[in-house]
Amino acid sequence: MQYASTRGHAAEQTFSEILLGGLAPDGGLYLPCEYPQVSADELNTWRKLSYADLAFAVLSKFATDIPAVDLKAITDKTYTSVVYCNARTGEDAAQITPLRVLESSEQRSLLLQALSNGPTLAFKDMAMQLLGNLFEYTLAKNNAELNIFGATSGDTGSAAEYAMRGKKGIRVFMLSPHKKMSAFQTAQMFSLQDPNIFNIAVEGVFDDCQDMVKAVSNDLGYKQQQKIGTVNSINWARVVAQVVYYFRGYLSATTSNDQKVSFTVPSGNFGNICAGHIARMMGLPIEKLVVATNENDVLDEFFRTGIYRVRKSAETWHTTSPSMDISKASNFERFVFDLLGGDAARVKALFNKVETQGGFDLSGQPGSDGDEFQKIAQFGFVSGKSVHADRLKTICAVEKNYSITIDTHTADGIKVALEHTEPGVPMIVLETALPAKFNETIKEALGRDAERPVGFENIESLPQRFTVMSTDVTKMKAFIAEKTGL
């Protein structure tokens, strides 16, 4: 399996060659030269597999340069009930991502796929724990080291840091928007005292952090000298790790390959739902992929109109589902590449226009950049938007109707999912995080605190270690160089 850039000017590479990096040298994102296909017989066989074995089966189609025995050992080490057991009681931890049936009738079938059973109580653990083990394996084989430089709007940072803490040869430099995460999210990251973890609070919004990561990644000389890698959703290995739970969700919700399901995914950076798109391109019988946004509705606007219009920092809302407070979806380029039929030159031109003019238009209207909006339905995409009042209402309704407390992002997902259900097609909502991570809003909605998993009772009171910095990329580079000594 070879990988090529969405912008067409980088040489094809293997899975291991792109594992430690993010952006391709030409500024594009890596995709497989062709999507591997899954047959009906394979799907039937996969129904019987454990999560770790399913992960091995899916990843084997993409990481063809890693010996099977090594890849199997990595997935076995990653997906265990020891790693994914500390979030809830009363559920079968061995399932890793169990389904909860909320409604089941001829008119509507609504399910919730639990993705927050990992060490940081968020879906990001599902990929990040694997990434940590893949990094450690690859670095050990080459006697190398890696300095991870990433950005987070909330959950990616803690998931990355918990996956990489103490790993030999790895340092983590994680940017986050200063004072724009929940108290729990902030404490989860900043309370880590491991010497290989560096938390940097940036005076700006998430998109400023993300732009700094891209700026450093595009400085190829500095990137090579400082041995910079990334764990953001632009990292291909992280995306493909998320493909696994779409297969698990489908196989758990169906009994026959003739059946279809739909997925609703709370989305800001387009990484999670991009994995669903990839699963669908591999042949997984997905009817709809429903993009659920919050007030920062760049993606919803595109899937309704064909216009991709990024917002400036001043136009990015700070909301009660903060992990989706994103106005430039860095993974979106992968889908646009497929939407344009793999035309790398057009992809490059469109995303250069994003940088220079703030967006592009595929609506087909006079003066637009193309008419591909009419093809979106072929890929199963629809979308919807949820705001603060919707979140409060949905959290209350889910508590009342199903006796489940959900977090704010999952509430956005359920609100939008209910707008797109159809008879005979189960709708699976991907859970984003546990409600304890967003206690302020849970308390506003329900009048009580969210339940705290064991070990997280007083996390906000722990000592915190972080550095506040501006959006000056030059100063950021100097800070990294000082800490690495390279």
Reported pTM: 0.92
Instruction: List, for residues 54-73, the tens digit of each pLDDT value.
Output: 999 999 999 999 999 999 99
Query: Which tens digits make up the pLDDT trace of 345-386?
Result: 999 999 999 999 999 999 999 999 999 999 999 999 999 999
The predicted-structure confidence for 157-199, as pLDDT tens digits, reads as follows 899 999 999 888 899 999 999 999 989 989 999 999 999 999 9
Whether 48 is a known active-site residue: answer no
Q: What is the pLDDT of residue 91?
A: 54
**Average per-residue pLDDT in the chain?**
93
Structural domains for the chain: 96-119+242-446 (3.40.50.1100)
The active-site residue, picked from 48, 61, 77, 124, is 124
pLDDT digit string, tens, across residues 23-59: 898 999 999 999 999 999 999 999 999 999 999 999 9
- The C-alpha atoms of residue 126 and residue 279 are separated, in whole angstroms, by 16
Q: Which of 237, 349, 270, 279 is nearest to 8 (CA)?
A: 349
d(CA 208, CA 473) in angstroms, rounded, equals 10
Instruction: Specify the higher pLDDT residue, 455 or 435.
Output: 435
- Predicted confidence at residue 146, as pLDDT, reads 93
